Structures are given as C-alpha cells and as structure tokens.
Amino acid sequence: MDKIYINEMEFYGNHGVFPEENILGQRFRVTVVLETDLRAAGRTDDLDQTVNYADIYALCKEIVEGKQFNLVETVAENTAGQILSHFEQVEKVHVKVVKPNPPIKGIYDSVAVEIMRSRHE
C-alpha cells in the first residue's frame, strides 16, 4: 500500500492528568502516516485523487487544540478515528503523538504513543 507522511505537526493543547497541564497547556507533535492507493493521483496529477494534506493538518489541529483529554492515547485514538471517518480513501492510518515536556521528573527527550488503525477492524 502507498503511504503519505505528514511529519511533526506541532500544536498547543491542554491534555494531561495534572491540573497545571490543563490550565497552562503545552506543545504536542503529531505525525500521521496514511495508507492509500496513490496510483490514480500519480497518473492524473489530480488533487481529487489523493488526500489533501492541508485538510489532514486542519483536522489534527482541531483535535489537539480543541477538546481537552487526560491521555495522549485518547488524542491519538481520536485523530485516527476522525481521519478514517472523514477520508474514505485512507485504508490505514498510523498516528504518533509526542509530548515533548511532560511534568515528569527525570532526564529524557519526550514521551510518545503510536497507534495504527484500519478501516477494516
């Protein structure tokens, strides 16, 4: 299956289990990989034959910057579900949500979750 990658989209959201995360908010980075057939788009050079990246970006922004969730797992699940429900040509979607600065003591780069969902699950 062909793939479209939209890497490291950055948004500001208020997700987390600690009150300060919900009040102050923080950065989140989202990467999506869309599995779809790109043959017709490649042959015709027609945007209607593929997935519009701007529309995916807008949907991800709406989810991350919209409703507040406790878990990044929920952000990822909602993102995958919305992509599959709004873009019927997408057969599978991989979603990675990175939380660069969670309030956890220690030295680390970030925390992240990555999920894969399919239209036929």
Report, as residue numbers or ranges, the catalytic residues: 99
Type of residue numbered 23: I
- Of 11, 20, 23, which is closest to residue 99 (Cα–Cα)? 11
Side chain identity at 35, as an amino acid letter? Answer: E
- Nearest of 42, 55, 44 to residue 88 by alpha carbon: 55
